[in-house]
Amino acid sequence: MSAPELHVRGTAIPGLLLVDVPVHGDNRGWFKENWQRAKAVAAGLPDFGPVQNNVSYNGDRGTTRGIHAEPWDKYVSVATGRIFGAWVDLRAGETFGAVVTGEIGPDTAVFVPRGVGNAFQTLEDATAYTYLVNDHWSAEALDEYSFLNLADETVAIDWPVPLQQAQLSDKDRRHPRLAEVAPLAPAPVLVVGRTGQLGRALVALLEERGLPHRAVGRDELDLAEPASWPEALRTGKGLRRYRAVVNAAAHTAVDEAETPEGRTAAWAANATGVAALAAACAAARVPLLHVSTDYVFDGTLPLDHQYPVDAPVGPLSVYGQSKAAGEAAVRALPRHWVVRTSWVIGDGGNFVSVMAELAARGVDPRVVDDQVGRLTFVEDLAAGALHLVEQAAPYGTYHLTGAGEPLSWAEVARRVFELAGADPDRVSPVSTAEYTGDRTGVAPRPRNSVLDLSALRATGFEPHDHVELLGTRLHADGAGGTARG
């Protein structure tokens, strides 16, 4: 009676998917699994998290509804009867105004993504039309809806029953023509940690690409104090309209975290606060991208090995322990990306800018040579994080650092001196034990911070070589002088 297995087909509208649904019939009638999450996702449908099931009963042939584009995804099917379906892309982009039409019966379903206009006309009396949606209607979000007139001449839908003879609502008759429709923008991204170096880089990239977003700092959402958050954020109600939440905030004072006060602050921001944010995202059914660190590993892996994403964690420091706890909280969220990074270089004071300053001032530094890793320039980190969100990459854990040959901190310092026109031999390599000496309150660092990037590369993102980007950064800042980092 239908396809033996669930089968998903693409269409001319990106994200609009036709689904062949197995229907099993006998002398009593028929049966189908209208939505079975595991099978649907395995077949290629998005794991879109429906929260409501609606049914529209239509008594007469020719009943016509639409064209409505709403700020949520929907999975449409027919329980009884048949319909002529019409879908128009009302999202901003090259496919704005693209049309897909076709007959739909019990053996076919359609996944309609946010911003694609949905309409149907019944081809039989007593047709029941059903749809799952992944958000609830809200009067506060009416500006995120879009509508198109069923008789629009530009899309020119060939309705089986002429609209003059069809049954329409007065409201549907009054919808605007395509020339008057404002394209629906993508759902915005929420950036937590607006004032940090990664938060600033994310905002700059989102603005450069013209992507809708909102960024909040500690004045609006202090990770360390979930009780102070606005109720809409704390409960998740204010997150439902977001495409994703990107957590770029953290307590990163590694040595300070070894003190009694710092330990409390690190756990509050990196573990307790992250767990509260994950719970809010779970309530809103919004994906969370959380940035973590190589410090969740103990660094004892041989230096010619790289840490895979599924390597057991074993943090040495309070900072690493608090970040590992935050990761665990995020993994309880079905829709998440945990992005581990290392040796981040941003637009503030950092190791590279300090070394360039010392080179310019004639200071000869002692730098540890038994900690190995790769630099991660914050622009690369921001671009990779947004890539996972924009491409709807498979949920899970990723490593995102610069690419290329791993170096020790001493080797990085020598490269900086050389690029700044100074003698690299002025850098004296020392062991971590020699460098720290008898100092107390210094957090233990991983000896090996080299992270395997293969999971990230499988999504289509290739980080820059960290040594090449180091040269680009220093030349942009003025090699031979002071680098800003």
Catalytic residues: 68, 131
Q: At what angle do helices 318-331 and 260-267 cross, to 10 degrees?
A: 20
Q: Please give the torsion angle defined by the CA atoms of residues 38, 42, 46 and 49, in that order, rounded to the nearest 10 degrees.
A: 10
Question: What is the Cα–Cα distance from 150 to 67, expressed in whole angstroms?
Answer: 6
Question: What is the Cα–Cα distance from 90 to 93, expressed in whole angstroms?
Answer: 9
* Neighbour-count burial of 332, counting CB atoms closer than 10 A to its CB (0-12 exposed, 13-18 middle, 19+ buried): exposed
Question: What is the Cα–Cα distance from 15 to 110, expressed in whole angstroms?
Answer: 10
Question: What is the Cα–Cα distance from 282 to 239, expressed in whole angstroms?
Answer: 10
> How many Cβ atoms sit within 10 Å of the Cβ of residue 53?
12
With H, G, I as helix, E, B as strand and everything else as coil, classify residue 210. coil
The label of the residue with tokens 């320039």 reads 377
Q: Say if CB 102 and CB 75 are below 8 A apart.
A: no
DSSP string, 222-252: -TT-GGGS-HHHHHSGGGTT-SEEEE-----
CA geometry: angle at 302 spanning 267 and 320, to 5°?
5
Q: Say if CB 288 and CB 223 are below 8 A apart.
A: no
Q: What are phi and psi of 149, to 5 degrees?
A: -65, 135
Question: What is the Cα–Cα distance from 356 to 482, expressed in whole angstroms?
Answer: 6
Q: Please give the torsion angle defined by the CA atoms of residues 188, 137, 98 and 106, in that order, rounded to the nearest 10 degrees.
A: 130
